[in-house]
Homo-oligomer: A and B are copies of this chain.
Amino acid sequence: MDRIRPHTLSGFMELLPESQLKFEKIADTLKRVYSLYGFTPLDTPVIEGSDVLLAKGGGETEKQVYRFQKGDNDLALRFDLTVPLAKYVALHLNELTFPFKRFQIGKVYRGERAQRGRFREFYQADIDVIGDGKLSIYNEAEIPSVIYRAFTELGLDRFVIRVNNRKILTGFYAMLGLSEKSGDIMRTADKLEKIGADKVRAILIDDLSVSSGDADAILAFMAIKGTNAEVLSALEAYRGKNEVFDLGLTELSAVTRYLAAFGVPETNFAIDLTIARGLDYYTGTVYETMMLDHPEIGSICSGGRYDNLAGYYTDRQLPGVGISIGLTRLFFILEDRGLLNPELKSAPADALVIPMTDDLEAAAGIATAFRGAGIRTEIYFEDKKFKQKIAYASKLNIPFAVFLGEDEIKEGLVALKDLETGEQEKLTVSEAAAKVRSALEKLGTGKPIRE
């Protein structure tokens, strides 16, 4: 028979079992944290009509979209989880209760140029709060708490949530009479950390024709740093010159006011006036999250406030705030840099029952009892030498083996072996189950990330 070479497409992550279990643990942690804040799970189709998905049209994204015909239908694969959310909310307006808080962890598709660490199919893990007409600023204030809890529960400690407000930037540039150039200026200022103040100044003056005085004013503004209180106080000096700025400053103050009550330490939070976020639709608070020891990775969790989620589908005003974690890329980076906790449970089972007799009655009974006690239990059925059976357990890091020979069966006991310590005991089935369960409470309870 002619054989086809099995292969997985480039840009598509496919994990081996051990890594997959770690990935699942990360995804489960995010689900749990998102749920703790009252976000409800949502699942939308991977395929949508191209008219729906590309309602906005144009831009880099459209070129990357997987789009195709099936019968008479012009179809496309979703390239993010925000457009499907917009469609969902517009479609189900009268069936939803607002504010509508949903999380979605799902695959999205972008036909980017394939390169190491870039994916064409990748998971996003998003939360959004959508208001009907209005949405309180305090939803924006709670977001850093979700980010903080998500990453600390994943095991990350050395990260900072950077926050800014687009209205502050918009208002500031209006003060200087630079509103028309503000988009270009923001994109330039966004590079401050990467290329330094001198180069930013040069681009502002040479490429964007900003006056030397204004360039200095911009750099002075961007240089405002310090504790939240210090930054807010420095910003107060600009108050009263522009209404949009003033509103932005009031919002930023509100967002930082309850950080402590929301459990976010100041060390994990910073107001950062250089942050603008590329997307046009953010209108208020914007968020980025940086790993302190890996700034080269860029933001691992970003988002912000927008005034109108679904303008392409409905005339109902739907303001919202949301964040997104690029889960596949994050996982790739964590694994690549050795930041995944090696002690994290990676075995497919907690116990391997190894029958030593032809009759499997006792083995089946014990496995059934263990499973009833919540122990993930596999029976080794294959006809192999004893050594190979044990090798199977140890290859898969299964922590316990249960041996069942003639003697044990006669006595109604099992031989339970802790494969790490090598310790072996004869116990009743319920004693053995209790012992495994108590060991499991300690095993594999670590967090997915270890810095």
Contacts and interface: CB of A to CB of B under 8 A. Distances in A.
A49 B101 CA distance: 37
Contacts of A40: 17, 20-21, 348
B368 A47 contact: no
Number of copies: 2
A261 B361 contact: yes
* Max count, chain B CB within 10 A of own CB: residue among A36, A135, A258: A36
Contacts of A5: 313
B17 A102 contact: yes
A102 B21 CA distance: 11
A6 B90 contact: yes
Contacts of A348: 35, 38-40, 101
A43 B23 contact: yes
Nearest to A355: B138
Contacts of A392: 97
A362 B24 CA distance: 35
Nearest to A4: B55
A7 B91 contact: yes
A134 B20 contact: no
Interface string A334-365: 00000000000000110010000000111011
A39 B121 CA distance: 25
A43 B17 contact: no
B360 A258 contact: yes
A5 B87 CA distance: 9
Interface in A284-331: 310-315
A45 interface: yes
Contact of A99 (B24, B73, B258, B382): B382
Q: How large is the interface on A (under 10, 10 to 19, 20 to 34, 35 or more residues)?
A: 35 or more
A207 interface: no
Contacts of A172: none
Instruction: Identify which of A6, A55, A136, A378 gathers the most chain B CB atoms within 10 Å of its CB.
Output: A6
A395 B223 CA distance: 48
Nearest to A99: B382
Interface stretch (A224-232, A369-377, A412-420): A369-377
A3 interface: yes
Given A40-B17, A47-B9, A48-B8, A381 B136 contact: yes
A277 B171 CA distance: 69
A6 B87 contact: yes
A376 B145 contact: no
A315 B3 contact: yes
7 contacts: A6-B313, A8-B87, A9-B73, A39-B348, A46-B107, A262-B368, A263-B372
Given A6-B88, A134-B382, A258-B364, 11 more contacts: A4-B51, A6-B87, A6-B314, A12-B45, A13-B45, A20-B42, A23-B43, A36-B377, A37-B376, A38-B376, A261-B361
Interface of A: 1, 3-9, 12-17, 20-21, 23-24, 35-49, 51-52, 55, 66, 68-71, 73, 75, 86-88, 90-92, 95-97, 99, 101-102, 107, 109, 111, 121, 131, 134-136, 138-139, 141-142, 145, 149, 257-258, 261-263, 310-315, 348-349, 352, 360-362, 364-365, 367-368, 371-372, 374-379, 381-383, 392, 395-396
